[in-house]
Structures are given as C-alpha cells and as structure tokens.
Amino acid sequence: MGSAALLPLLLALGILHNCCEAYNVRLLEAKIFSGPSAEQFGYAVQQFVNDQGKWLLVGSPWSGYPANRTGDIYACPVGTPKTTCNKLNLEALINIPNVTEIKEDMNLGLTLIQNSKTGGFLTCGPLWAQQCGRQYYATGVCSEISPSFQILRT
Ligand SMILES: *[C@@H]1O[C@H](CO)[C@@H](O)[C@H](O)[C@H]1NC(C)=O
Ligand SMILES: *[C@@H]1O[C@H](CO)[C@@H](O)[C@H](O)[C@H]1NC(C)=O
C-alpha cells in the first residue's frame, strides 16, 4: 500500500518524470534474422558498427551440423531492408600455418567479443585441435577480426 501511494506522489512532484517517459518499440517494423537452430544460430550476438553500416553479429557455433560443428559468424545488416545474413566463412579463413589443424568440431563463434581498440571483434573456436602424429592437442583457437571482417591475427 505504501508504494501504491508513493507513485502518484512522486509523479506529482515530477521526480519520476525522466525515468518514466514513455517510448515505443515499433513491433510492426521489428527486424527478425533467422538461422538454423540446429546450428545454434544466435548463441552469441553483438551489435556492431563499421564504415559499411550497422550490423548484428551472430555466432553459430554448430554451423556445418550434422556433418561437423565447425561454427561460424554471420553479419546481419541492421540499417537496410535485407533480412538475410552474410556468412563470414571465418571457419575456412582462420588458419594456423604449418600444423595439421582439426577444425571439424571447433565451435567457432562460441566466443564473440568486441574489441574497442581495433574496432573489430574477437572470436574463438574452443575445440580447435592440432594433430601431431597420433596425438591431438586441443588448445582452441582465437582470432582478431578487423572492422571490415578481415583476419588480423590468429
Ligand atoms: C563442415 O561441413 C560443411 C557442410 O557439409 C562443409 O561445407 C565444410 O567444408 C565442413 N568443414 C570442415 C572443416 O570439414
Ligand atoms: C611454414 O613452412 C614453410 C615451409 O617450410 C616456411 O617457409 C614458413 O616460414 C613456415 N611458416 C611459419 C609461420 O612457420
């Protein structure tokens, strides 16, 4: 009862004015990006801006399923009418030279973090492995991606 009485009082005093100003989320114009749930599309999501516009970066760590679970990142354009996302194919582009890489189940896109220093982002495939003879060393792999979706370092 106390808080029920308090609210009109605060409104009358104008104390809540700023905090309670109404705004509308325009549901009719909401934009929906869809992807296969079996590929865990949407596991990680980041808002992203580069000189080409605004994006929603979407991690899909089981991309390739059921053949494999390589994973990938999608860039979905926010400022345009398009509702389809670009697969960045980072799973193919991320390479550690001169080692036998096992990428089939690396789950790229499980980690997706913006990097304010580069203006790009960091993504990881925690189950990436290197094969040495009959041994597998599953160290995982992380890559820094530039604002224009190029690999800076892995
Ligand atoms: C994973 O499977 C997809 C779809 O079959 C294929 O295009 C891709 O090359 C495979 N990736 C690896 C690393 O085997
Ligand atoms: C990979 O191997 C090639 C040929 O042996 C060598 O020239 C090159 O420097 C190696 N690259 C790295 C990153 O070790």
Report d(CA 128, CA 82) in Å as an integer: 33
Mutate which of 62, 69, 70 for ligand 1 pocket (most atoms within 8 A of beta carbon): 70
Q: Per residue in 28-66, pLDDT tens? A: 678 899 999 999 999 999 999 999 999 999 999 999 999
Predicted TM-score (pTM) of this structure: 0.80
Atom of ligand 2 nearest to the CA of 97: 13
Would the CB of 101 count as within 6 Å of ligand 1? no
Helices marked H in the chain — which ranges?
A: 2-13, 90-93
Residue 25 is predicted with a pLDDT of 60
Which residue, among 41, 90, 39, 91, has the nearest Cα to 62 in the 3D structure? 39
Q: Per residue in 108-134, pLDDT tens? A: 999 999 999 999 999 999 999 999 999
